Amino acid sequence: MTTASICTIGDEILIGQIVDTNSSHISQALNSLGIRVTRMLSIGDESNAIISSLEAELAENNIVIVTGGLGPTKDDITKEALGKLSGASGTKTDERQLEIIHRILSARGLDVLDINLAQAAVPDTCSVIPNRLGTAPIMVFDFPEDRFGHKATLYSLPGVPFEALGAIDDVLQDIRSKHSTSDIYHRTIMTFGLAESALSKMIEDWEDNLPEDIHLAYLPNQLTGVRLRLSIYGGIREVEEARIETELAVLRSVLGDYIYSEQDDTLEECVGRLLKAHGKTMSTAESCTGGSIASLITSVSGSSEYYFGSVVSYANSVKTDVLGVPSEIIERNGAVSSECVAAMAEGVRKLTGTDYSVATSGIAGPGGGSDGKPVGTVWIGVSSQKGTETFKLHFKGDRKRNIERFAANALNILRVKLVNELNN
């Protein structure tokens, strides 16, 4: 089996200033080719450490993916180390990357400085995959079998997550052409509303009866719920996909409405798909979630087709004056109440003239809670021409987590209403 090691270079990770998220994404991508990641490593911007660490990783693995150490102010160290490691006699300039550097900087209205141009210069031992999203090229170093006892390739990627992830497809393609990979067939089931332990209890019997070569992975995520992933390595596509489908048919009957999608997508994409398919529109009225729901919905390209807007009514005066919530409701029940979110949801639907709306009012914390309405309490209202419903939920997290969970649950409550009213 082809194995890989993922290394990040940069003092900023070692001093704990930033968390490495690249390695996790790269690992998932390598996994999809049946490549096993044996180690992940972070090292500093120091030439000897870079050389000795990468040599050790190459000795144990076929593929080493390096990210970071390539910013315009510090790429000398990494490039020099990679040059030494690969026995380079000098540098060469990659004309394609040079052109990209000029294009990117002029689009940003920036002067092209010498340190920018220097980014296109690479050790003469490597081949280059142009980085269309940034100034630092992707460097590919191939080592012959006699160097480490096996064929080995080192890929050097920029550290900026957006650029590193943008380069992965090209890197995977290069790996396929040089190393042995196997196909993997998988399906992802998105669930929402069950914790990992409750979900695992619910599908225990089904899981126990899965054929041995069908692997099940739980991928929990606060925002999108638990993803279930079924995979088979190798085999004939049609046969293996049909076998996975057979298992899924049983799973669907067990989980029902907890499954929101069988594509690897988010609640906001799912909501958007439902609205678009039926030509319906929506709006939001947010208090405690402070624009998070709007921000999630508009993160989806094309959302302007179905999303008209939001009133973030953080102050009560905005709830009454803009959304038209009767001030008696707030005086009598408080802003965190069924009556208030119902009036907010109806108010924003009328104000914007949309078919659907969802509203939130709650206490994200850390302050502001009371005995009857502790921190973590949220009321969620959903409204359409067919009626308005409200729900009370409670979570136990810090401010950030509470807001994320409030927003995710609001989207899910809206999704269930859409499914019930539009699909039947």
Q: Under DSSP, is residue 337 helix (H, G, I), strand (E, B) or coil?
A: coil
Among 252, 278, 396, 420, contact with a copy of itself (rule: CB under 8 A): 396
- Which of 289, 293, 212, 261 is closest to 416 using CA atoms? 261
Site string for a copy of itself, 177-196 (x = CB under 8 A): ------------------xx
Phi and psi (nearest 5°) for 15?
-85, 5
Residue 394 contacts a copy of itself per CB under 8 A: yes
| Integer Cα distance of 410 and 169 in angstroms | 34
Residue 1 contacts a copy of itself per CB under 8 A: no
Binding segment for a copy of itself (CB under 8 A), chosen from 138-146, 197-205, 242-250, 325-333, is 197-205
Q: How far lies 269's CA from each of 132, 375, 414, in Å?
A: 27, 29, 12
Least separation in angstroms between CB 52 and a copy of itself: 10
Which is closer to a copy of itself, CB of 322 or CB of 419?
Answer: 322
Judged by CB under 8 A, the chain residues 8 through 47 that form the site for a copy of itself are 11-21, 23-28, 31, 36-44
Among 77, 91, 92, 115, contact with a copy of itself (rule: CB under 8 A): 115
Among 34, 130, 193, 220, contact with a copy of itself (rule: CB under 8 A): 220
Which is closer to a copy of itself, CB of 44 or CB of 130?
Answer: 44
- Which of 40, 41, 39, 43 is closest to 15 using CA atoms? 43
Least separation in angstroms between CB 38 and a copy of itself: 7
Least separation in angstroms between CB 282 and a copy of itself: 10
Which is closer to a copy of itself, CB of 88 or CB of 359?
Answer: 359
Residue 71 contacts a copy of itself per CB under 8 A: yes
Which is closer to a copy of itself, CB of 42 or CB of 390?
Answer: 42
Q: Measured at the alpha carbon of residue 415, what is the angle toward residues 411 and 416, in degrees to the nearest 5?
A: 125
Query: How buried is residue 107: exposed, middle or buried, by Cβ count under 10 Å (0-12/13-18/19+)?
Result: exposed
CB 344, CB 288: distance < 8 Å: no
Site string for a copy of itself, 279-318 (x = CB under 8 A): -----x-x--xxxxxxx-xxx-xxxx--xxxxxxxxx-xx
β-pairing, 377-384 with 356-362?
antiparallel
Least separation in angstroms between CB 381 and a copy of itself: 17
Which is closer to a copy of itself, CB of 49 or CB of 214?
Answer: 49
Judged by CB under 8 A, the chain residues 336 through 375 that form the site for a copy of itself are 351-353, 365-367
Least separation in angstroms between CB 385 and a copy of itself: 18
Least separation in angstroms between CB 144 and a copy of itself: 26
DSSP H stretches of helix in 151-266: 161-178, 196-202, 204-208, 237-255
| Integer Cα distance of 181 and 29 in angstroms | 12
Residue 110 contacts a copy of itself per CB under 8 A: yes
198-203, long-range: CB < 8 A, 24+ apart: 199/226, 199/228, 199/258, 202/254, 202/255, 203/228, 203/251, 203/254, 203/255
Among 2, 9, 33, 53, contact with a copy of itself (rule: CB under 8 A): 53
β-pairing, 138-143 with 127-129?
antiparallel
Among 84, 150, 229, 276, contact with a copy of itself (rule: CB under 8 A): 229
Residue 3 contacts a copy of itself per CB under 8 A: no
β-pairing, 356-362 with 282-286?
parallel
Size of the site for a copy of itself (CB under 8 A): 101
Residue 113 contacts a copy of itself per CB under 8 A: yes
Residue 128 contacts a copy of itself per CB under 8 A: no
The DSSP result for 379-396, as a single string, is EEEEEETTEEEEEEEE--
Least separation in angstroms between CB 174 and a copy of itself: 19
Residue 254 contacts a copy of itself per CB under 8 A: no
Buried b (16+ CB within 10 A) or exposed e, 342-371: bbbbbbbbebbebbbbbbbbbbbbeeeeee
Buried b (16+ CB within 10 A) or exposed e, 72-90: eebbebbbbbbbebbebee
Residue 200 contacts a copy of itself per CB under 8 A: yes
